[in-house]
Each structure stands twice: as structure tokens, then as C-alpha cells.
Copies of this chain bind each other. A is one copy, B any other.
């Protein structure tokens, strides 16, 4: 998309989300008809702009002047909501585009999710809108809401009798139903909404577009998202990066993560979900918080509504109950927070309030002293919040005693909302009234321990990501489609010709006759590998022999392999003879393309153990050497890289730089589908050698004219 196209797109989205004038095509009186419901919703939630009902058969609808057709409206129209059945939509879209409306919403179902004819219709309306540069939301969606201007451009029945309120949280959803469930929770929590949008079949606008708009939108400070899968990811990654810069948390609930769920999601919105691990990696890399339910999403949202989370894991627990304190300590440690001991200074300060028999530790157990000393809680909380020793505090309280509620509740409301760090307070076995009051005073309250700790820990991770560098290039995803497998020799030759990597000394022979001459200046032992594109796994299939000590042994082996290949009628380029390397450590390095999520690097412990142990990790490109270096520490077997049992440390810096070059090379070569180096060996003296490599290419000869072809 060119900058001017982008600018006009942004303008179009502004008209969609914040229109000054709205047309309801197919407006009716009855609330049980879509066109009636949409008009009522527009009228009832405080929208101040112009509202034009369109209905050819009536002069007024819901006491408003009705227009016979979209074309009959005089003033400009920012948004046209098409409330007609699928088969009537196309004509109205064409009319709307000719009438120069600013944006479109199509609510009807019966398009791509229905049948082939519907899919064709959907494609046609999308094309018309796109040709006119008019953004189209839907079809098969519930529309959108804008809490800031009381705009309810939606056919949902779920807001009946309820009021759309402004607020700081926005929600983007591929499912209309899930979006209404989210809104129901929001209202139950007495919270308002900035923007709410359902993207349905995504004929034109996708969750990526909607997300990008919400990240830019000043009214939206927290973003929730329900997705089943993405159609394209570069816009999402740009939005994720912008959200980091603007310090807006993005919290995502994704379905289709398991195979059964993926199947269900695909039949629901027709989006293929792709590999869960890659989504997780993409989210992690951009600090997008993935949750397992709407409840968890709203838990995290509430953290950001009550505080400005800071990174840092030093956690203090203050508890009325020793047992609850221990449970919080467990949950915190499992969530990657830590409970450092209180310093001597802090203990000395607290000791003034606690009798000598109370052991002061972390968790701080308030013991029955809290009944004796009505100021104990406030003093303790004051001491901890002013100590600079902690980033996060969890308090646990329980009970109905009026004194306790009064003393502790007041102290919390006074201290916690003003504290510079993160916190949550957990209350059990108390009254709903008290909890409501406490929340109304701005204190973040939970009823259960793991929920509280998980939500705050997630906020800490998001804040942590905010303190790290933000990528500034978002390469379009490419890939998919059939590809060809290059032989090892061709793969290595290609990489070598581009100055990538170092390889064992090797030579390709086409018969056993050449071996003696070829090895004259070479030193054994040697590896011998048959070069055939039809043989994917050389080991286990007789296509590889290692540690051959003499040229004679090599010659015999070459002869045997070629004979066997002939017998099995394998197409074969020859046999590769290489000097064996003395390998200290084996890595796997892969570069792959996910057709939706983009190009990524896979690194891990190499050799045959990859399939068994799967000790690998992934990260999306582009990646700098330092980032690659830090990926190694994610591996289970990181100790092996760090001088395990007296072995030399792996040259991580050098590995990072080597792999960075390979990543750049891969990004620059679209015709390569995948590169796999396995093993990449760290050899004697720290030399990095690509022992085996395979290139998968979309063309049979990926710009290979420049690659030497062996012998």
C-alpha cells in the first residue's frame, strides 16, 4: 500500500468508526428486524450525528423522515449500514459507492460462510468497495460501536435495555457472538468501552485494520482481541509495534489452537489457524498477551485500568493467612515473579509493629496481631510501598468484621492506587458490598489467588516488553505453494556462492574412478553422502557413511552407493565426499516461511535429537545478532552452550552474527522456501561449520545459474 493509499484508508476508517452522518439502508420500525434494531440503537445511545433511514415504502420510520433510496440523501454520508438480506446487498453497495459514501457496514450473513454463490457475491462487493477506496466492514458481522460518541452501529440484541458508555477499553473480534459476551462482562463490571468492532467474513477490512485503528485511537488505552486466525500479518505486526510505542496493552484470545479447535474455527470463519507455536511466538515477540478466556482478558484489562504497570519481578506478599500467603508465593513463582527476602532495614522498621514472636519474612504473615493493632495493616503497607525494595505487592485479606473492613479498606484505598508499582489485593469470605465499595475507590480486587497473580504477572510482562526495542520493518509474509528440494551439494554450493557459512571440504564425484585422485590432497576420515533429490533422509536409508578412514574405503563406499542407487532407480547427481569435522556441539538452524505469519528462524539443538527432543525455539524475522544470541538461552539444553562439563563455551556472539547474515540472505531471496542447516557444527577451535544443509526452493533452480555445479 502506497503512503497516499494508506492516508486515504485511515480517513475512510475514521469515517467508519467516528461518522458524522449515518445511513441505515433497510431501516424499519420493528426491533426484531435488523434494520429496525440498528436504527433504534443509533437513536437510543446518544449519537449526535445525522441519521438517515432509507426505506422505499414509507415516508417516516421510527418518527424520522425516511428516504426512498440511498441516492436521495442530499448531505454527505460518512457511513452506510446495509441492513438488507444478502441477495439485496450488492445493488446497494454499488449505489453507495456511486453516491460517494465514506464507509460501509454489511451485516447480513449468507455470503462466503454459506455457499459458493455467497462467496462469489462477497468477492464482488469487496471488489466494488475497494475499487472506490471505500472501507467495508463485514459481511456476516454485528457491526461496531463507538462508546466515545454513543454510536451503536450494530445489529446486536444484547444491548437491549442497556446503555453504551464511553471508556478506555476497545475490543476487536472475528466473532460477533464472542464480542457480545465480552460487552456483557464489561457492563457487569460497570466499565465503559471506547470502540467495539466485529469483522465477520473480512471481505475487505480485517482484524488487522481494526487493530491498527484502535492502536492509533486516543480514546482507546487497552485493546482486547478475539481471533481465530489471521489473513495477513504485516499490518498486525505494524500495529503491535505501534502499540508498544504508545504503551497500549493488547490482550488476545485466540481459538483454533488445538487440532480440534482449528477444525472448528476453520468451519466457523474460514480462516486457517496455522501452527499454535508460531502464533505464540509472534505474540511473545511483540508483547501481545495471550489469554485463555474472556475472564482472563478482563482481569488483565482491569490491571491496566487501575495502575500503570512497571517491569520488575520483586514481589512482596502481605497476608492475613499463612496458608494463603504460601499459595500466593507459589502462584507468583510459577508466574515468573520472585519473592526476595525483606532487607534488614525493612525488618527493623516493621519490627516496631510486630511482636517479637512473629517471624518477619516474605510473605509477611500479619497473624492475629492485625486484630490487636488496628493500624498494623496500614503501617505494613506503608513500609513496603515506601521501601523501594519491591515492584509488585499482593495483599490477601478475608473476613466480614466491620472494624477490619474499615481499617484495611481505608488503608488500601489511600495507599495502593497512588503507589508507583503493581499490585492486586485478594479478598475472600467477605461481603459483596464491601468489595464493590473497595473497587469503586480505585483498588484492584480479586476473589481468587491464581487469577490475581496471573493477571498482574501478565501486566508485568507487557510492561517489560515496553522497555525493550521495537522493530521497525514488517516484511510481508510470502510462501506457501509447492517447492523443490535441492540436494545437499547444490544447497551448499548455492549458499557458498553467496558467501554464506563455512562448509566441510568436499567434492562431488559421479563414479568411484575419480576418488583416488580427488582425495590426493585431502585428509581423512571422510563422510560419503549420496546426492539425490528423491532421498529426503540420508541417514537410515543407506545414503550416508561416516568415518571412512582410507581412500580405499571411500572408493568402495562410493561404488556401492551408486550401484544401490541404480538398482533402486534413484535420480542421482553423484556422491559427495567430505572431510569429517570434529564437532563439539550440533545445532539446527532453519529459516522458514509461514504464508500468513511471515518468515522465521528456528534454532535448537541439532543432529537426530531434534525429532526426539524438539529442543528448538523460533522467532520471526528480522532479527539482529544480539536477539539471536539471546534465543539460545530459551533452550532447555542451554547449559550445553555454556561450557557444560568442561567443554569450551559455544561462540554465541559469532553464532549470532553468522545466523543474522543467513536471516538477511533469506529475507532477500524470495525464491527460497526454506533453508535447513542440520547440524550446524561448532567445531574444534570454535569454527562454525554447516555440516549438512538443504534448500527448498519454489523454482527448480533458484537463481542457481551463479552457483558452481560440482566437480
Contact = CB atoms under 8 A, between A and B. Distances in A.
Interface residues of A, number: 85
A323 B268 contact: yes
Interface stretch (A67-75, A244-252, A330-338, A375-383): A330-338
A329 B263 CA distance: 9
A8 B611 CA distance: 59
A264 B334 contact: no
A293 B262 CA distance: 30
Nearest to A428: B181
Nearest to A334: B258
Interface in A443-486: 447-451
A608 interface: yes
B264 A363 contact: yes
A257 interface: yes
A400 to B, nearest CB: 8
Nearest to A264: B326
Contact of A329 (B109, B261, B365, B640): B261
A324 B253 contact: no
A256 interface: yes
Given A264-B329, A332-B260, A320 B399 contact: no
Interface in A168-190: 173-175, 177-178, 180-181, 184-185
Contacts of A448: 293-295
A512 interface: no
A398 interface: yes
A338 B300 CA distance: 30
Nearest to A398: B181
B265 A429 contact: no
B177 A265 contact: no
A3 interface: no
A449 B293 contact: yes
Interface in A327-386: 327, 329-334, 338-339, 357, 359, 361-363, 365, 368
A22 to B, nearest CB: 25
A292 interface: yes
Contacts of A228: 323, 326
A61 B252 CA distance: 62
Contacts of A158: 399-400, 429
Interface in A145-204: 157-158, 173-175, 177-178, 180-181, 184-185
A685 interface: no
Given A329-B261, A646-B540, A323 B255 contact: yes
A325 interface: yes
A184 B429 contact: yes
A705 to B, nearest CB: 37
Contact of A333 (B258, B322, B327, B332): B258
A5 interface: no
A257 B332 CA distance: 11
A109 to B, nearest CB: 8
B178 A645 contact: no
Interface string A578-619: 000000000000000000000000000000100111110000
Interface in A221-280: 226, 228, 253, 255-265, 267-269
Contact of A330 (B256, B326, B614, B636): B256
Nearest to A645: B540
A268 B327 CA distance: 12
Contacts of A306: none
B361 A264 contact: yes
Contact of A644 (B174, B323, B612, B639): B612
A321 B398 CA distance: 38
Contact of A326 (B265, B295, B368): B265
A706 interface: no
Residue among A257, A262, A264, A611 with most chain B CB within 10 A: A264
6 contacts: A157-B399, A174-B323, A177-B320, A181-B429, A260-B330, A265-B323
| Complex A-B, nearest 9 residue pairs according to Cβ-Cβ distance, in ascending order | A175-B323, A268-B322, A258-B333, A261-B330, A177-B321, A255-B326, A184-B429, A264-B326, A261-B329
Interface of A: 109, 114-115, 157-158, 173-175, 177-178, 180-181, 184-185, 226, 228, 253, 255-265, 267-269, 292-295, 317, 320-327, 329-334, 338-339, 357, 359, 361-363, 365, 368, 398-401, 428-429, 447-451, 539-540, 608, 611-615, 636-637, 639-640, 644-646
